[in-house]
Amino acid sequence: MDKYETHESDVLVIGAGGAGLRAAIESSAQGARTALVCKSLLGKAHTVMAEGGIAAALANVDAEDDWRVHFHDTMAGGKMLNNWRMAELHAKEAPDRVYELERWGAVFDRTGDGKILQRAFGGHRYKRLSHVGDRTGLEMIRTLQDKGVHQGIDIYMECTITRLLKDGDRITGAFGYWRESGRYVVFKSKAVVLATGGIGKSYKITSNSWEYTGDGHAMAYEAGAELIDMEFVQFHPTGMVWPPGVRGLLVTEAVRGEGGILRNSKGERFMFKYLPEANKKDFAESDEEARRWVDEVLAGKKPTVRRPPELSTRDNVARSIYTEVKEGRGSPHGGVFLDISYQPAERVKKKLPSMYHQFLELADVDITKEPMEVGPTCHYSMGGVRVDADSGASTVPGLFACGEVSGGMHGGNRLGGNSLSDLVVFGRRAGLGAADYAKSAPSPRPDGREIEEAASIVSAPFDRPDGESPYDIQRDLQTAMSEFVGIFRTEADLEEGLRRIETLKARAKTVGVAEGTRLYNPGWHLALDLKNLLIVSEAIARAALLRKESRGAHSRLDHPKTDSHFGKVNLAVRNVGERMEVRETPLLEMPAELKKVYDEVETPKAVKVP
């Protein structure tokens, strides 16, 4: 086989978005020799797409907020399937992480008295999202990037990892290739932190970039780790639907947080009729009440009335829009209308600058004058590698995960804004966990045969110059997933989806590189990503088939109700002898004390500020 270069470290972090950068910063601060690999250039990771804000109970705007309410909202949003310990740590530590970002140079928008400003978001009882206009993710990644480059982390850009290397049971490094030259590279490392993000490229309409091919999910699965909650794929309610080239592009939830109104083609404000009975009481009953809430918030006052119905959780809003369109009340291009144009133009431009430009430049729509057309778009994977809440450790020794690739934190549905806070809270914890583990782990000793095997898989597409085009296979997979494993699911559809995935798996084995060399060859790169896409797609479909109920982001038309049995289990996916096994695993039992906190918060009056 070809020669390969080798780099050695204590901790190898794969992925340089918010979670990966935060993990690397922490690991390096703990004295571990830390390497950071990413598929793109540094600072281009998907985190830059996060717009609305970072959720943390700072209580700068609503003094009643505290970690307990945040914990409650997260668990309620996740339909109680969350790993309670993660939700607890997240709610308690998010404020510290936000202040830490500020001390590293992040510049958040301010309140009138000079504190970090917070905005309202779906599923959050109080105004909780610290933000910078609608480019919070960019602010976060730039802050972490600038902190990271001065910390002595070895950064390897445009390098794709294709396989985790093992020494017996434990992780001992990773194998990959340079995108630029196509040459192989082996990272010997005592611990590996996965921070590879999500799986959105399995779907046709997605807000995710090309990078989101489920690499971390698939590599962890192949290395023997357990994936949980894979059936829960979040469809963001508001993606662009027109023009075709930008279909799926995210329209931030901040539009609704700032008072955006959803209407169907008949002009009805339809969200009123889709509010779930359970928390209907938290939302406005009428147009007047909702408008008053917006007026009061705009005036910087504490609202005296309830929130607009558009601020329901994402799963619910996405289903509602889908239903409206399906029942023939959609907009001309198959979405619904989202309207912020009733507010002063200057305010819209100040609070939602990138949305303003995005619509003006890409869709010829001036959002200060006319409504946007929006529809659901695949956005986030709640499912991922099962991890220990405190350390980010997976079930494989030496393998850690944080951010979107990890599972458990968000349960059945993620609240907007909880992702950015997840990245920094658990990025830090995984960095700590990995550095700590590396202290007592043996020197990495990758097995030469395993490396050779990994290399031969990577070079295989070059042996099939007449093989199938990877672009065709990816397109067919995306179609299958969108059609049969989408927002609403049935047993028959899921089974059809799985049949198609099987066919595609066979086709993927014949994929070839028709043109070009190893030098920066996107066709070849995609051919190698297909395997990961197929593994995560299969995991989603299999888990979705098994969960015979509707809960959170998982909606079964043939099982439209929640089933208390499934409320007690997470579905776990494992690789058992080259076969994908899905089994029910019991939820972690929430301690009585925390249960009490949850119940107290349930009735808002019982909340006390410490």
Partner 1 sequence: MPEQRSFRVFRGDAGGGQMKEYTVETGPGMVVLDAVHQIQATQAPDLAVRWNCKAAKCGSCSAEVNGKPKLMCKTRLDDLPADRPVEVRPMRTFPLIKDLVTDVSWNYEVNKKIPPFTPKPNGEWRWMQEDVDRVQEFRKCIECFLCQNVCHVLREHQKQPEFFGPRFFVRLAALEMHPMDAADRLDLTHRQSGVGYCNITKCCTEVCPEDIHITDNAIIPLKERVVDRFYDPVRRLLRKLFRR
Q: Which parts of this chain interact with partner 1 (CB under 8 A)?
A: 40-46, 48-49, 99, 102-105, 107, 109-110, 113-115, 132-133, 135, 138-139, 142, 146-147, 149-150, 157, 180, 209-211, 242-246, 249-250, 354, 357-358, 361-364, 469-471, 475, 513-517, 519-524
By the 10 Å C-beta count (0-12 exposed, 13-18 middle, 19+ buried), 199 is classed as: buried
Q: Least CB distance from residue 146 to partner 1, whole Å?
A: 6
The DSSP line for 226-279 is: -EE-TT-EEEEEEEE-SSGGGTT-B--THHHHTT-EEE-TT---GGGGG--GGG
Alpha helix locations (H) across 62-107?
Answer: 67-77, 84-103
Of 135 and 217, which CB lies nearer to partner 1 in the complex structure? Answer: 135
User: Is the N-terminal amide bond of 442 cis, ω within 30° of 0?
Assistant: no
For the stretch 264-270, contacts whose Cβ atoms lie closer than 8 Å and that sit 24 or more positions apart, written own/partner, are: 264/324, 264/329, 264/330, 264/331, 264/336, 264/337, 265/329, 265/330, 265/331, 265/336, 265/337, 266/329, 268/329, 269/309, 270/320, 270/324, 270/329, 270/336
Of 55 and 250, which CB lies nearer to partner 1 in the complex structure? Answer: 250
Q: Can 333 be counted among the known catalytic residues?
A: no
Q: Least CB distance from residue 452 to partner 1, whole Å?
A: 26
Q: Least CB distance from residue 525 to partner 1, whole Å?
A: 10
Of 31 and 522, which CB lies nearer to partner 1 in the complex structure? Answer: 522
Q: Least CB distance from residue 185 to partner 1, whole Å?
A: 16
Q: Can 217 be counted among the known catalytic residues?
A: no
As given in the structure block, the two tokens for residue 401 are: 């995960």
List the catalytic residue out of 135, 236, 414, 500.
236
Give dist(CA 418, CA 64) in Å, integer: 19
As given in the structure block, the two tokens for residue 199 are: 């799986």
Give dist(CA 215, CA 385) in Å, integer: 12
CB 4 within 8 A of CB 451: yes
CB 45 within 8 A of CB 17: yes
Give dist(CA 25, CA 151) in Å, integer: 7
As given in the structure block, the two tokens for residue 290 are: 């909702």
Of 362 and 546, which CB lies nearer to partner 1 in the complex structure? Answer: 362
Of 146 and 289, which CB lies nearer to partner 1 in the complex structure? Answer: 146
As given in the structure block, the two tokens for residue 587 are: 């939820």
User: Is the N-terminal amide bond of 303 cis, ω within 30° of 0?
Assistant: no
Q: How far is CA 362 from CA 92, 260, 397, in A?
A: 40, 20, 47
Q: List, in sequence order, every residue forming a beta bridge with 440; answer none if it has no partner.
A: none
Cβ-Cβ contacts under 8 Å for 537 (sequence gap 6 or more): 199, 202, 477, 480, 481, 485, 501
- Report the relative pairing of strands 184-194 and 170-178 from DSSP bridges: antiparallel
Give dist(CA 366, CA 581) in Å, integer: 50
List the catalytic residue out of 256, 307, 386, 507.
256
**Count of CA atoms in the C-beta half-sphere (13 A) of 524:** 27
Of 117 and 385, which CB lies nearer to partner 1 in the complex structure? Answer: 117
Of 22 and 559, which CB lies nearer to partner 1 in the complex structure? Answer: 22
Query: Residue 610: which of 300, 600, 602, 114 has the closest Cα?
Result: 600
Of 161 and 582, which CB lies nearer to partner 1 in the complex structure? Answer: 161
**Count of CA atoms in the C-beta half-sphere (13 A) of 592:** 0
The distance in angstroms from the start CA to the end CA of the chain is: 64
Of 60 and 320, which CB lies nearer to partner 1 in the complex structure? Answer: 60
As given in the structure block, the two tokens for residue 97 are: 């992480």
Q: Least CB distance from residue 49 to partner 1, whole Å?
A: 5
Of 104 and 272, which CB lies nearer to partner 1 in the complex structure? Answer: 104
Tokens 């979040």 map to which residue? 234
Q: Cα angle vertex 48, ends 121, 427, to 5°?
A: 80
SS3 547: coil
Q: What is the DSSP letter of 200?
A: G
Q: List, in sequence order, every residue forming a beta bridge with 8; answer none if it has no partner.
A: 188
Q: What amino acid positions are annotated as catalytic residues?
A: 236, 256
